[in-house]
Amino acid sequence: MEKSMNLLVTGGCGFIGSNFVRQRLFSKDPEVGRIVNLDKLTYAGNPFNLKGVDTDPRYVFVHGDIGDEALIAKLLTEHQIDCVVNFAAESHVDRSIDSPEPFIQTNVVGTLRLLNASRRYWAALAEPKKKEFRFLHVSTDEVYGTLSLTDPAFTEETPFAPNSPYAASKASSDHLVRSFQHTYGFPTLTTNCSNNYGPFHFPEKLIPLMILNALDGKNLPIYGDGMQIRDWLYVEDHAEAIWLVVRKGIPGQTYNVGGLNERPNIEVVERICALLDAKSPRKDGKSYISQKTTVADRPGHDRRYAIDCTKIQKELGWNPRESFETGLARTIDWYLANRSWCDDITSKKYARERLGVS
């Protein structure tokens, strides 16, 4: 697939989706014709995430829902879409524990309706466009469940064992995508990623929450003993992996994408505090780590996630560019330089809501 493609990106105003759109348009990628961004603009969707690309003639924004099959069908036909990249999802575990139903509605029903409309469009395409069409579904390592300290990392063959309503909803959507490929021959691709971090991350997740709480003089809440281990993937590395899978991946295949950076949550918080101590010291001279506090653990909190990304490395030649140290430093620099974005999010879109830890 070397000629330019028109993309329908769902959830492109969210954290990972907006980084993907920005990367493709700012890079002036000749393989990108047009990007149509369909986003419902829920609490985590922010058009400001795409400031600077919104005037690009290749960019089109549409306010809408992936569950609207008529709208999806219209966009696919009107813009002669060659590839759908599905980022749209409810994604926060704490929210899914509090209220599972929105996760089922968006992640399961929404994905099904997006698949339905896309498959009908694909089935009516003439060759060679039909052969070249792709549907890429972005998912999570949480579908695989949890690991002990000695278990091998998740591979693409690891059985699904979701432990939260969020993870269960994503596992369901993964199964739907697989079924459309197997039943209809629909050219799907799935990526399962580890924990992302980086610019434009909504401040309910661990890293942005700790950065902003530290700077605002608030407590840094750590679940339980803080020894839950996650594999941290810089969001721009993830965006590059997704684009590589779109272009080079084999339809029907799943590709795990990991950062090769396993860290316990407490170590992540300590590293954030050390970097902030150096980059933006407290006026009283104390370390930000003094703001650390422990809170009751999340119900059913998975102990460890780890991704084996050997498949995408060997078959497609992808490797993360950022180490955890360089990626975290870049992330903190971004938040320090973009306090207005942070203030807008926390004051207008997240006021009075409980901030959780991913």
Residue 94 pLDDT exceeds 90: no
Which of 31-40, 43-52, 69-78, 327-336 bottoms out in mean pLDDT, i.e. has the lowest? 43-52
Residue 87 pLDDT exceeds 80: yes
* Cβ count near 96 (within 10 Å): 22
**Distance from C-alpha of 333 to C-alpha of 335, rounded to nearest angstrom:** 6
Please name every residue paired with 85 in a beta bridge, in sequence order, or none if there are none: 9, 136
**Distance from C-alpha of 275 to C-alpha of 249, rounded to nearest angstrom:** 38
Region 157-172 average pLDDT: 95
Q: Which residue in 121, 166, 234, 305 is the catalytic one?
A: 166
Q: Phi and psi dihedrals of 70, rounded to 5?
A: -65, -40
Predicted local confidence at residue 3, as pLDDT: 75
Contact status, residue 257 vs residue 312, Cβ threshold 8 Å: yes
* Distant-in-sequence, close-in-space partners of 31: CB < 8 Å, separation ≥ 6: 1, 2, 3, 4, 5, 247
Confidence (pTM): 0.94
Q: Which residue in 39, 141, 240, 262 is the catalytic one?
A: 141
Nearest Cα residue to 42 out of 80, 95, 85: 95
**Distance from C-alpha of 272 to C-alpha of 73, rounded to nearest angstrom:** 45
Any idea what DSSP says for residue 321?
S
For the chain, the residue count is 358
Predicted local confidence at residue 159, as pLDDT: 98
Q: Give yes or no: 142 in active site.
A: yes
Kindly report the average pLDDT of the chain as a whole number.
Answer: 93
Region 241-258 average pLDDT: 98
Q: What is the spatial order of strands in the sheet that 195-197 belongs to?
A: 195-197, 229-234, 262-264
Q: What confidence tens digit (pLDDT) does each residue in 178-224 have?
A: 999 999 999 999 999 999 999 999 887 899 999 999 999 999 999 99
Predicted local confidence at residue 28, as pLDDT: 85
Please name every residue paired with 318 in a beta bridge, in sequence order, or none if there are none: none
Q: What confidence tens digit (pLDDT) does each residue in 153-163 have?
A: 999 999 999 99
114, 171, 219 from 166: Cα distances, Å: 19, 9, 26
Q: What confidence tens digit (pLDDT) does each residue in 56-70 have?
A: 999 999 999 999 999
Q: Phi and psi dihedrals of 14, rounded to 5?
A: -85, -175
Distance of CA 295 to the CA centre of its chain: 26
Between 94 and 30, the more confident residue is 30
Residue 1 pLDDT exceeds 60: no
Predicted local confidence at residue 183, as pLDDT: 98
- The counts of H helices and E strands in the chain are 13, 12
Binned at pLDDT 50, 70 and 90, residue 348 comes out as: low
Which of 6-20, 85-99, 269-283 bottoms out in mean pLDDT, i.e. has the lowest? 85-99
Token digits for 284?
């009283």
Region 28-54 average pLDDT: 91
**Distance from C-alpha of 66 to C-alpha of 221, rounded to nearest angstrom:** 34
CATH class of the domain comprising 5-198+234-259+306-322: alpha beta
Between 302 and 123, the more confident residue is 123
Predicted local confidence at residue 297, as pLDDT: 86
Predicted local confidence at residue 350, as pLDDT: 45
Task: Provide, rounded to the nearest whole percent, the portion of the chain with pLDDT above 90.
Answer: 83
Residue 30 pLDDT exceeds 60: yes
Residue 358 pLDDT exceeds 80: no
Q: Which residue in 65, 82, 94, 142 is the catalytic one?
A: 142
Give 286: exposed, middle or buried? Use CB within 10 Å, 0-12, 13-18, 19+. Answer: exposed
Q: What confidence tens digit (pLDDT) does each residue in 264-320 have?
A: 999 999 999 999 999 999 999 999 999 999 999 888 788 999 999 999 999 999 999
